Structure 1
Amino acid sequence: MSSNPSSPPTPYKNGSILLNSYTIKDILKQSPNKKIDLYAKIIAISEAQQCDTKYGPQYTKNICLSDGNDIIWASLQQKLLNQHQNDFILENQIVLRNMIIEEQEGVVQLIDDIWTSVQTPESVEVNYFTL
C-alpha cells in the first residue's frame, strides 16, 4: 500500500494531476461537497479486456495520451455523483465514462459511450484535469 509516487504529478492544462499518483480519498479531500468530475483528453485505445459486473460484461481499455483524430473524454465520478450506476460503485471503485468523439471536417460527433468499472485509481494512468 505504498502511496509514494516516484515523481510528482505531471502538470497538464489547468490544475490537472496524474491520477495514479493519488488515491480517490486524496482527491475527495480537495472537494468539499464530495463530488468529483474530472476529464481527460485521451487518445489511442488498445485492446479491450472484459470484466464481469452485475450489469453484464463491461470492457476496460488501456488508454494513453497521444496525438490523433479520435478524442475520448473519460469522466471519473464518485458514487454520489453517478446517477446511472449508483449501487454498482463501491467505496474504492471508480467508473470511467469513455465518450469516443470524432471530428471530421469541423463536425464533432459522438461515436461511442462506454461505462467501465475500475477497481483502483492505479488502473488509470492518464492526465485528468478538473473543469
Structure 2
Amino acid sequence: MKRRVEKIEPYPFASDFSAPAPKEADTVRMTPQDLALLLSDAQASGASIARNDTLAAEASKLAQASDDLKKVLAGIVDLAAHLEHAAIDETDRKDALERVRRLAAVVIEGQGDLFGR
C-alpha cells in the first residue's frame, strides 16, 4: 500500500543543530492603494444601498398617492353619474355637472400637490 505525499516542507538544516526559526504568522498585507480601493468600494456599496432604500420609500409613497388619486377621481365620476340621474331642474343639473368637471380638472392638474405629501 502506497501513501500519497500531501506536502513536503524543506527542513532548514543547520550545522549547529539549533532550532529552526519560528514560522511567520499568516498576515494580510495591503498597499495603501489597495486599502483606498477597498474603502472606496465599501463607500460606494453603502451609498448604493442607501439610495435604493430611498427610492423604494419614494416609490411606495407615489403608489399610495396614485391610489388616493384614483379613489378621488372615481368618487367624482360616481357623483357626476348620480347628478345626471337626479330629479333636479335641468339648469341646476348642468350647473352641478360643470362644477364636478371643474373639480375634476383641479384634481387632475393639481395632482402634484397630492404627490407632495
Whether these two folds match at TM > 0.5 is no
Point out which structure has higher relative CO (alpha carbons under 8 A, 6+ apart): 1
- Normalising by structure 2, we get a TM-score of 0.19
Structure whose CA Rg is larger: 2
- Higher strand share goes to which structure? 1
- Higher helix share goes to which structure? 2
